[in-house]
């Protein structure tokens, strides 16, 4: 298929999932995007090399900074999210590091929702302190809690569209209004929803992040992260973001936003972040993730169908005290789910096991079809007890705020036959 001459916006989501960014290899005619397993690239001549290093021309220099396989992956995810440009990284955490590196200076602050993946809570609250970047915690269910924390040093707001592990649907538009009022960008981690369910840029996000390890790749076989630039934020309006608005000493004084316009953030993350910090994705992982995205809409539809059926079953189970899944009519997030993700509330949700911590541990040790591991977004059904694993490093108060209390079990519902998924949970609960 030749997509040249046709705007990407003219194609549907399923078509973009298969074709965006890709074309037959110009040398060999290979239809699938090749794995460009190379560290570096030959320059035409000295002038060509100089123009690449000086950012006067786009092209390949060194795979730490960019790679042709990676470039197709970036264009595809940017197209699916409705962004202007994107940057792939070695992991979701690597993407978050590059994102904040372009925004923050020592002593700056950002506001993050408490309803976050435990690894992000730890990265923000512990590791980022070494850079002098400080986080303030708001309640993702209360947009006003973000407004109350904004002050002169605040550089960004960070939320998840569907929060991990509790499956809480966040009111992106309301929190975007707070960010716009404060003159700061809204960053949305869209890992659990994927653009198949939620497109945060349409609701006011300025930057979208992904752990592609999860649903985008979808097969539990490769690690990767992604930054998508919405192209919506005016980085030059104030002097709050000097890496984007002020002369850059690494590139002869050019101003990133002035030079690159609505792609400036993604390019800054690449040429000032990825270049120097180095969390580069491997070409092989980029290839696997790119292949996984081709079936994203098919998988997400099945994930959501299965998850809804399993959540309904567990909500009636005598050994389950509660279920947090936004597609259940009695869930507090049901209304938001109908607004933001009418096709489904994703495949990840939590429930409470009667008997608390010990019962949760017993359940994850008793299932047979489910895999007990620290991941979500696989074709396989996955289960974990967050309080004893992914959120173990948090305090009891942080665990509760993050939706990972002692009785909480998190499941990521796969694409197996739903009767088999339910049967396995039933025998595990019976144990």
CATH number, domain with residue 42 = 3.40.640.10
Angle between helices 118-125 and 92-103 (to 10 degrees): 30
- Does 303 lie in the same domain as 283? no
Q: Do β-strands 408-412 and 382-384 pair in parallel, antiparallel, or remain unpaired?
A: antiparallel
Q: Does 251 fall in a domain?
A: yes
**Residue 1 falls within a domain, yes or no?**
no
Q: What is the spatial distance between Cα 73 and Cα 67, in angstroms, rounded to a whole number?
A: 10
Which of 53, 59, 89 shows the shortest CA–CA distance to 74?
89
> Which of 123-132, 231-240, 283-292, 384-393 shows the lowest per-residue confidence on average (mean pLDDT)?
384-393
In terms of domains, do 231 and 300 share one? no
pLDDT for 130 beyond 90? yes
User: Is pLDDT at 45 greater than 80 in this prediction?
Assistant: yes
Same domain membership, residue 346 and residue 238: no
| Beta-bridge partner residues of 160 | 189
Q: Is residue 278 part of a domain?
A: yes
User: Do residue 324 and residue 285 come from a single domain?
Assistant: no
Angle at 185 between CA 180 and CA 187, to 5 degrees: 125
Residue 386 pLDDT class (50, 70, 90 cuts): confident
What is the spatial distance between Cα 83 and Cα 257, in angstroms, rounded to a whole number? 16
CB 243 within 8 A of CB 65: no
The token duo for 214 is: 């999860």
Domain end among 292, 312, 340: 292
Q: Are residues 181 and 212 in the same domain?
A: yes
Within a domain: 194: yes
Yes or no: say if 192 and 324 are a contact pair by the CB < 8 Å rule: no
107 and 84 inside one domain: yes
- Do residues 428 and 314 touch, judged by C-beta distance below 8 A? no
- The per-residue pLDDT for 405 is 86
Residues 343 and 271 occupy one common structural domain:
no
Residue 3 token pair: 């997509």
Range of the domain at 148: 11-292
Q: β-strands 154-160, 109-113: how paired? A: parallel
User: What is the length of the chain?
Assistant: 431
Q: Bridge-partner residues for 134, per DSSP?
A: 109
Same domain? For 195 and 122 the reply is yes
Residue 5 CB-density burial (10 A; 0-12 exposed, 13-18 middle, 19+ buried): exposed
Q: Report the number of distinct structural domains present in the chain.
A: 2
How far is the C-alpha of 312 from the C-alpha of 21, rounded, in Å?
39
In a domain, 338, yes or no: yes
Q: Is 6 a member of any domain?
A: no
Are both 190 and 128 inside the same structural domain? yes
| 365 contact partners, CB below 8 Å, separation of at least 6 | 372
Tell which of 230, 262, 292 closes a domain. 292
pLDDT at 264 over 80: yes
Same domain, 124 and 181: yes
Indicate the pTM of the whole model.
Answer: 0.95
Last residue of a domain, one of 292, 321, 345: 292
Check whether 3 has a pLDDT greater than 60: no
Report how far residue 400's alpha carbon sits from residue 162's, in angstroms, rounded to the nearest whole number: 17
In this predicted structure, the answer to whether residue 402 has a pLDDT above a threshold of 70 is no
Per-residue pLDDT at 1: 44
CATH number at residue 365: 3.90.1150.10
């Amino acid at each position: 298929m030749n997509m040249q001459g046709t705007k990407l916006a003219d194609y549907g989501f399923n078509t973009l999932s298969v074709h965006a960014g890709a074309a037959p290899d110009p040398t060999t005619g290979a239809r699938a995007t090749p794995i460009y397993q190379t560290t570096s690239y030959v320059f035409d001549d000295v002038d060509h090399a100089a123009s690449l290093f000086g950012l006067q021309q786009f092209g390949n220099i060194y795979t730490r900074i960019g790679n042709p396989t990676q470039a197709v992956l970036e264009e595809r995810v940017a197209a699916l999210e409705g962004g202007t440009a994107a940057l792939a990284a070695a992991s979701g955490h690597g993407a978050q590091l590059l994102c904040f590196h372009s925004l923050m200076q020592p002593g700056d602050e950002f506001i993050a929702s408490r309803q976050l993946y435990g690894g992000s809570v730890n990265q923000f609250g512990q590791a980022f302190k070494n850079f002098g970047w400080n986080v303030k915690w708001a309640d993702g269910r209360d947009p006003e809690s973000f407004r109350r924390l904004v002050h002169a040093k605040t550089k960004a707001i960070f939320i998840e569209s569907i929060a991990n592990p509790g499956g809480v649907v966040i009111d992106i538009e309301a929190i975007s209004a707070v960010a716009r009022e404060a003159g700061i960008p809204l960053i949305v981690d869209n890992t659990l929803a994927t653009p198949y369910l939620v497109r945060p840029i349409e609701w006011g996000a300025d930057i979208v992040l992904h752990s592609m390890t999860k649903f985008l790749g979808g097969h539990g076989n490769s690690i990767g992260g992604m930054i998508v630039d919405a192209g919506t934020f005016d980085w030059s309006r104030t002097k709050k973001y000097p890496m984007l608005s002020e002369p850059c000493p690494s590139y002869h004084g050019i101003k990133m936003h002035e030079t690159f316009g609505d792609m400036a953030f993604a390019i800054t993350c690449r040429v000032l972040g990825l270049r120097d910090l180095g969390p580069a994705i491997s070409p092989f992982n980029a290839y696997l993730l790119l292949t996984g995205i081709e079936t994203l809409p098919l998988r997400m539809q099945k994930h959501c169908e299965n998850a809804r059926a399993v959540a309904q079953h567990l909500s009636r189970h005598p050994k389950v005290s509660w279920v947090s899944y936004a597609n259940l009519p009695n869930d507090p997030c049901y209304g938001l789910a109908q607004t933001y993700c009418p096709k489904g509330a994703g495949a990840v949700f939590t429930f409470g096991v009667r008997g608390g911590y010990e019962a949760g541990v017993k359940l994850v040790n008793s299932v047979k079809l489910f895999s007990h591991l620290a991941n979500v977004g696989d074709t396989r059904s996955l289960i974990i007890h967050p309080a004893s694993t992914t959120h173990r490093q948090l305090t009891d108060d942080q665990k509760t705020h993050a939706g990972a209390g002692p009785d909480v079990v998190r499941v990521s519902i796969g694409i197996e036959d739903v009767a088999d998924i339910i049967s396995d949970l039933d025998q595990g609960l019976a144990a």
